[in-house]
Structure 1
Amino acid sequence: MLYAKNNEDFKQRRLRAIRNDFDSGATQLARNALADLADYAEDCDAANIEALNKEILDLALALQQCRPSVATLATLIQAFIEKIQTLSSELTLNETRQAYGDIAEEVSQAAILAGRQAAQNLASKINKGSRLITHSCSANVMYLCDFLGEQLKEVIITESRPSMEGRTLARYLSKIEMPVQYITEAQIGNFIQQADLAVTGANTLLQDGSLINKSGTRLLALAARDAGIPFYVCAESFKHRPLMPEAITLEEMPAEELGLPQLAHVRARNLYFDLTPARLVTAWADEQGVTQTFINKSS
């Protein structure tokens, strides 16, 4: 196994990478985990199919549980688990390894297609010449900008501290020659009046349509409500979870990322995600369409 001493070393390395990845969006994070499962299926030490199944299932279940705020990770890995359980018992060990890799890629590609379809559905609702404001770096917002192209007048992007993933979106839109204004999220109140609509992705959509996303999303939704512009959530149905907001614990990362020196009587806080209530959402776009009445599809 590349860069790993043994099976356990590989699993711990990959779990650590997924656990500490706060730059990738929810779908990309899940796709990274699926790629890890494919790599592990190909290279892990397993003398027979039973041993291989145990190793893959162990890693899959650990990956499912390592990022509780990211429903996409748990959902797509569950899809992988369910599909591998349907494989023929007539396959050889090498054929089973290959089949696991193929299934991981199949689930990964299906996720991309769902995201693109959600963005295309939302694109059909956006007027030509609109100026869009967004927060963080959602792959679905990238797809949306691809579909709209010159129909968009401009995109306003927040920096999205502390990971600064807004820079990734800015670089992408620069490459496709999309006019962009790049701001700190503290400036949302200054720029919201320039926008015709606000759009974000989501890490997770809860039972009532509330969303978990990068901290600052709720501020954008509140600013949009105050400015009288729509706030759209573009997120695939596999991001749905059958949980209510009060059941959620938001992930908190080391305060050292904020760069504040040690000060007596001061406690720095670094919550990466916030919860935006459904009442602030104008409509939800997924691969099946755009609706103003949220229906949770996680059951």
Structure 2
Amino acid sequence: MLGSPLSIIRLFHRSCPCSSLSTMKDEIKILAEDREHGASELARRSLALLAERAQTSPATTCGDLIAELNLLADQFRQIRPSIAPVQNLVGRWQSLLSRFPQEEVVSLRPKIVALAQQLQDQSQQAVTAIARQTAALVGRGATVMTHSLSSTVVASFKLLKDQGVDAIITESRPLLEGCRLARKLSEWGIATTLITDAQMGLFVGKAKGVVVGADTLLKDGSVINKAGTLLLALAARHQNIPFYVASETFKRVSASPTQAQLEEKAPEELALESPPGITLRNIYFDITPPNLISAYITEQGIYRQASKLPFYNNARE
């Protein structure tokens, strides 16, 4: 189930470092249960927590410190199998960590922290670059439709808020993150229409284009994202509406659609009664194939062919 509001606040607005492994395990559990934040935000938070542990670990040798951090990093990478940024950014951090020369642990700690911060900065810079390209592609006065809550899409709307754009937002069940997005856009002065997920096909024709984020980009260009994304892409194709995916390249992995793991969460989140003989399912993600995607908007440019998409170099597999 979703962590409490206090847990979410504690996750992203910490006032004290993680001082023990038991506390770190609690943080890993919170990340695993977090349904409030986007994939890239979770990856950046994972790096921040690893940096905190690098500072507070009782390890007295370089080897012991790196071994402990690698063990924790492996746990972070396993918590959300449908979300590539945690795997790739943390994996990249581990790969670079292994290249540090043996030295006194007191001088190694700040270097490890700086490396984590560098990767966090690169992630945030990628989001900013994608938002600029998305805003330029969408253009002034457009109506844009989206599904779920992507930090990259939010950043794009922020740049568009003074350009007369309108927004069509799906509620995005079961946790209704679309409602939170609609509220934010309305506060920015963007004319916003909030609809149930079932109305996607009715409203997509009113949009100039659809822009969604991605939790993972698969090898063939398929996109793992919030369940309902595939239905929206199909509706957009049926009505000849462009369907864009705004995603950082570090969300790409070498797995194929048949190898992808789609997370399934507690059916209680659906807030429905289950009479005898009925099974409730709550699969969080679906897979949208590349033939339904008009273009991929990345920090390295806009790609209209999945075969041209770059991989994130040196991600630890």
Provide the TM-score with structure 1 as the length reference.
0.93
Residue 83 (structure 1) aligns with = 96
Q: Secondary structure at the match of 2:102?
A: coil
Percent identical residues: 36
* 2:169 aligned counterpart, secondary structure: strand
How big is the shift at 1:149? 2.8
1:240 aligns with 2:252: yes
AA aligned to 2:298 is D
Equivalent position amino acid for 2:119 in 1: V
CA contact (8 A) 1:251 1:272 kept: yes
Which of 25, 33, 43 matches 2:38? 25
Q: Deviations over 1:213-264 (max 9, x none)?
A: 0111111111111221100001011111112111112110011111222421
CA contact (8 A) 2:274 2:280 kept: no
Aligned residues: 297
Partner of 2:69: 56
Q: What's the counterpart of residue 299 of structure 2? A: 287
Match for 1:292: what amino acid?
Answer: R
Paired with 2:59 and 2:164, the residues of 1 have a C-alpha distance of: 53
Indicate whether 1:145 and 2:168 are aligned. no
CA distance in 2, matches of 1:51, 1:229: 55
Q: What is the rounded CA distance, in whole Å, between the counterparts of 2:290 and 2:223 in structure 1?
A: 7
1:222 and 2:237 matched: no
The 3-state SS of whatever aligns with 1:150 is: coil
| 1:128, distance to aligned residue in structure 2 (A) | 2.1
> Runs (4+) of structure 1 moved beyond 6 Å?
none
- 186-195 or 144-153: which moved more? 144-153
Is the 8 Å Cα contact of residues 18 and 29 (structure 1) preserved in structure 2?
yes
**CA distances 1:138-190 after superposition (whole Å, capped 9, x unpaired):** 11111211222332420111111112211332233233222211222122122
Q: Is the 8 A contact 2:303 2:309 kept in 1?
A: no
Q: 1:123·1:148 contact (CA, 8 Å) conserved in 2? A: yes
Counterparts of 1:130 and 1:283, CA distance in 2: 17
Alignment of 1:1-299 (within 5 A): 6-7=20-21, 9-90=22-103, 92-294=104-306, 295-298=308-311
Q: SS of the residue aligned with 2:72?
A: helix
- List alignment gaps of at least 5 residues for structure 2: 1-14
Q: Which amino acid is 2:297 matched to?
A: A
* Superposition TM-score, scaled by structure 2 size: 0.88
Structure 1: distance between partners of 2:63 and 2:218: 36
Distance 1:274 1:167, change over 3 A: same
Q: Secondary structure at the match of 2:81?
A: coil
| SS of residue paired to 1:156 | strand
More deviation, 164-173/51-60: 164-173
